[in-house]
């Protein structure tokens, strides 16, 4: 390979998943994938660009069209080895029966390495052997990739046995499930197929890793920003007569909800873009808890913390409970409910349910003179719910292979198991305390503590995202 960046052509039989493998590997959702064989009709380059620099390039190719005759021609070729491919292409360029064979071999003739993709869930055929032999004769560095489209694993041994004769390395790679870890593993395998490629690929791998970390960090920043913006948000309206109050409150509540929803959407879009899900509006699964409204009962039951966890994290003080209940139960004095805060262990259920999450009570309404203010939110659970929704969304995006296109069938892993589905429920109490300190710093407008707790929360989210990036569990779904 003479180029300054590594170039690999993804080659194989039609419809085996070449474009899917490429799409996932290059994290490029613009790659065309289809259940109908012959989707890729010509070669197309997909550069991987990080910080404005092309690092590595993958070339999508059409499937072999006439492998047996191509092999026969090559086996009878007598000229110099390095002229095999150019001579073959010259001799068949005008013949429509060899259009795809010429096209797919052109990048190899130009020095590209080969990633040969097969569907390992079907039996090996003579045709496959012919294709492998063609690639061996090219002398290009070659990696065999087993991308199983079906569940049947009984043919894998025979694929491995055959591959060992023709390839420098073999890798199992599921184009619909592979995540960050498997992408790196595949690049590591490529490193092994040719010594000359090794230094170049080492650089590619470290740049990929650094870039991934930067994405996780930026996502964490975005999530902290969202929490601070939403939890600090307030808006006011003036109210003339007493009768007006309810309708103004309703309107303010709606404004508040619209604001939070807009902010959440913006954050999600930014995170999706960071992980290069650009073309398809990577939808959430239809049965996902994330499809539920932020303020719905279901959301609050599934996500966030239990009362006990909230108390242990120091998240609830008498005053917070008091403020919530005070407004919920109009006419009952603040003081009475503040006192209740001390018995929260026993009165835990107070903090659950519809009353607190529906409407005005949550949102910290203040009525003073002729003005009504909504926000900043007084219910700390909102912080944990928002945070869990962000983490759940990010876990989905991080682990969604770009070559996977069955958007409607996805299941969010974390919604499958566990009693509580949110991530923060599994955090340590100390970590949850940081969240609670941040919340109270926002309430008190304490810039110093806010700065410190934001920085700590950022670190916690980065750690969580790093863990999610290595989550092999997700691949079951
Ligand atoms: N279930 C499953 N389906 C896959 C997998 N890989 C590819 N497919 C599906 O197989 C079909 C063909 O995938 P492509 O990536 O377009 O295959 P290709 O080899 O590029 O096909 P051509 O360009 O037509 O030669 C698509 O419907 C893919 O969604 C996989 O790992 N699992
Ligand atoms: Mg294709």
Distance CA 287, CA 477 (A): 14
User: In this structure, are 244 and 176 located in the same domain?
Assistant: no
In terms of pLDDT, which residue wins out, 449 or 249? 449
Nearest atom, ligand 1, residue 60 CA: 20
**The total number of structural domains that make up the chain:** 2
Looking at residue 418, the DSSP 8-state letter turns out to be S
CA gap 231, 436 in Å, rounded: 12
Are 270 and 405 found together in one domain?
yes
Banded model confidence at residue 326, pLDDT cuts 50, 70, 90: very low
Q: Is the CB of 23 under 6 A from ligand 1?
A: no
* pLDDT band at residue 22 using 50, 70 and 90 as cut-offs: very high
- My answer on whether 324 and 412 are in the same domain is yes
Q: Is the CB of 247 under 6 A from ligand 1?
A: no
239 in Cβ contact with 248 (< 8 Å):
yes
CB contact at 8 A, 84 and 75: no
- Give a yes or no: residue 207 inside a domain: no
246's CB contacts (< 8 A; 6+ apart) are none
pTM of the model: 0.89
Instruction: Output the CA–CA distances (angstroms, integers) from residue 159 to 107, 134, 388, 429, in the order listed.
Output: 25, 17, 43, 50
Q: Is 17 in the pocket of ligand 1 (CB under 6 A)?
A: yes
β partners of residue 144: 116, 170
Residues 159 and 218 in one domain: no
How does residue 243 score in pLDDT terms, banded at 50, 70 and 90? low
Give the pLDDT confidence score for residue 351 in this predicted structure.
42
What is the rounded distance in angstroms from the CA atom of residue 83 to the CA atom of residue 85?
6
> Could you give the CA distance from residue 232 to residue 189 in angstroms, rounded to a whole number?
49
Mean pLDDT of 174-184: 94
- Return the ∠ at Cα 185 (arms to 158 and 21), rounded to 5°: 65
Across all residues in the chain, what is the average pLDDT? 85
Q: Is 182 in the pocket of ligand 1 (CB under 6 A)?
A: no
Nearest CA, atom 16, ligand 1: 33
Instruction: State the ligand closest to the CA atom of 64.
Output: 1
CA distance 204 to 5: 9
Ligand 1 centre to CA of 17 (Å) is 3
Res 316: pLDDT: 66
User: What CATH number is given to the structural domain containing 113?
Assistant: 3.40.50.300
In a domain, 282, yes or no: yes
> 129 pLDDT exceeds 70?
yes
Label each residue of 92-120 as H, E or C: HCCCHHHHHHHHHHHHHHCCCEEEEEECC
- For a pocket test of ligand 1, which of 19, 20, 104 has the largest count of ligand atoms closer than 8 A to its C-beta? 20
pLDDT digits (tens, 9 = 90+) for 377-431: 888 888 999 999 999 899 889 988 999 988 766 665 455 555 567 899 899 999 9
Instruction: Check pLDDT > 60 for residue 100.
Output: yes
CA distances from 190 to 6, 23, 112, 166, 328 (A): 10, 17, 12, 15, 62
| Most confidently predicted of 52-56, 234-238, 249-253, 355-359 | 52-56
For residues 311 and 326, is the Cβ–Cβ distance under 8 A? no
Q: Which domain holds residue 379?
A: 214-476
Shared-domain flag, residues 130 and 242: no
First to last CA, the chain: 38
Q: How far apart are CA 342 and CA 339, in angstroms?
A: 6
The answer on 368 and 470 residing in a single domain is yes
For ligand 2, the distance from its centroid to the CA atom of residue 64, given in whole angstroms, is 11
Token pair of 278 as six digits: 């650009």
Q: Which residue has the tokens 């490529």?
A: 190
State if residue 32 touches ligand 1 by the CB under 6 angstroms criterion: no
> Is position 140 within any domain?
yes
Instruction: For ligand 1, say whether the CB of 44 is within 6 Å of any of its atoms.
Output: no
Closest alpha carbon to 445 in 288, 142, 231, 290: 231
């Amino acid at each position: 390979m003479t180029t300054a960046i590594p170039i690999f052509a993804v080659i194989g039989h039609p419809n085996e998943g070449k474009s899917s493998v490429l799409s996932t590997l290059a994290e490029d959702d613009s790659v065309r994938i289809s259940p109908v064989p012959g989707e890729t009709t010509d070669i197309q380059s997909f550069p991987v660009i990080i910080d404005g620099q092309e690092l590595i390039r993958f070339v999508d190719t059409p499937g072999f069209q006439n492998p047996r005759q191509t092999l026969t021609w090559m086996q009878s070729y007598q000229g110099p080895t390095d002229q095999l491919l150019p001579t073959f292409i010259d001799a068949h360029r005008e013949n429509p029966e060899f259009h795809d064979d010429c096209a797919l071999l052109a990048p190899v003739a130009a020095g590209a390495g080969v990633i040969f993709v097969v569907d390992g869930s079907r039996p090996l055929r003579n045709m496959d052997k012919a294709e492998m032999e063609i690639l061996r004769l090219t002398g290009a560095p070659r990696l065999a990739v087993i991308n199983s489209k079906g569940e049947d694993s009984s043919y894998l041994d025979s694929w491995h046995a055959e591959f060992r004769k023709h390839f420098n390395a073999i890798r199992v790679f599921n184009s619909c499930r592979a995540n960050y870890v498997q992408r790196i593993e595949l690049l590591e395998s490529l490193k092994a197929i040719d010594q000359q490629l090794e230094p170049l690929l080492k650089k590619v791998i470290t740049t990929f890793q650094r870039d991934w970390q930067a994405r996780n960090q930026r996502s964490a920043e975005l999530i902290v920003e969202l929490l601070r913006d939403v939890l600090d948000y307030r808006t006011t309206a003036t109210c003339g007569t007493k009768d007006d109050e309810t309708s103004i409150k309703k309107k303010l509540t709606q404004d508040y909800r619209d604001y939070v929803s807009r902010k959440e959407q913006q954050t999600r879009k930014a995170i999706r873009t960071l992980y290069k899900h650009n073309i398809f509006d990577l939808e959430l699964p239809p049965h996902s808890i994330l499809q539920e409204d932020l303020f719905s009962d279901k959301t609050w039951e599934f996500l966030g913390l239990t009362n006990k966890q909230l108390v242990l994290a120091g998240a609830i003080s008498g005053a917070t409970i008091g403020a919530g209940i005070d407004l919920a139960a109009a006419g009952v004095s603040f003081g009475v409910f503040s006192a209740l805060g001390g018995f929260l262990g026993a009165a835990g259920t107070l903090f659950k349910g519809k009353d607190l999450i529906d409407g005005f009570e949550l949102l910290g309404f203040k009525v003073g003179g002729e003005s009504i203010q909504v926000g900043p939110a007084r219910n700390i659970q909102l912080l944990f719910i928002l945070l869990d929704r962000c983490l759940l969304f990010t876990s989905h995006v991080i682990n969604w292979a770009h070559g996977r296109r069955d958007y409607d069938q996805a299941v969010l892993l974390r919604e499958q198991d566990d009693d509580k589905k949110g991530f923060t429920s599994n955090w340590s109490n100390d970590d949850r305390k940081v969240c609670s300190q941040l919340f109270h710093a926002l309430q008190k407008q304490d810039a110093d503590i806010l700065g410190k707790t934001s920085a700590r929360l950022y670190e916690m989210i980065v750690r969580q995202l790093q863990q999610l990036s290595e989550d092999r569990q997700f691949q079951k779904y």
